[in-house]
Structure 1
Amino acid sequence: MPRFAANLSMLYNEVDFLQRFAAAASDGFTAVEYLFPYEHAPEVLAAELSVHKLQQVLFNAPPGDWAAGERGIACLPGRQAEFRDGIARALDYAAALHCPRVHVMAGLIPLDQSAQEVRQTYIANLRFAGEAAARQGVNILIEPINGRDMPGFFLSRQDQAHVLVAEIGLDNVQVQMDLYHAQIVEGDLSMKLRQYLPTGRVGHLQIAGVPQRHEPDLGEVNFSHLFNVIDELGFDGWIGCEYRPARGTAPHATRDGLGWLQPWVTGNAT
Structure 2
Amino acid sequence: MNKSRGQSQPKKYGMVIDLDKCTGCGSCMVACMAENNVPFKKDETNKRDSITWMKVYRLTNGKPFPDHDICYLPRPCMHCEGHNGHSPCVSVCPATATDYSNETGIVSQIYTRCFGCRYCMAACPYHARYFNWWDPVWPAGMEEMLSPDVSVRMRGIVEKCSFCFHRYQRAMDKAHLEGRRDLEEAEYQTSCTQACPVGAITFGDLNNPEHKVHQLVKPDNAHSGRPQAPNAFRLLERLGTNPKVYYLSDREWVRRAGDNYLKGEGTIGAKH
What TM-score comes out, normalization by structure 2 length?
Answer: 0.28
Structure showing greater relative contact order (alpha-carbon pairs closer than 8 Å, 6 or more residues apart): 2
Q: Which structure shows the bigger proportion of residues in helix conformation?
A: 1
What TM-score comes out, normalization by structure 1 length?
Answer: 0.28
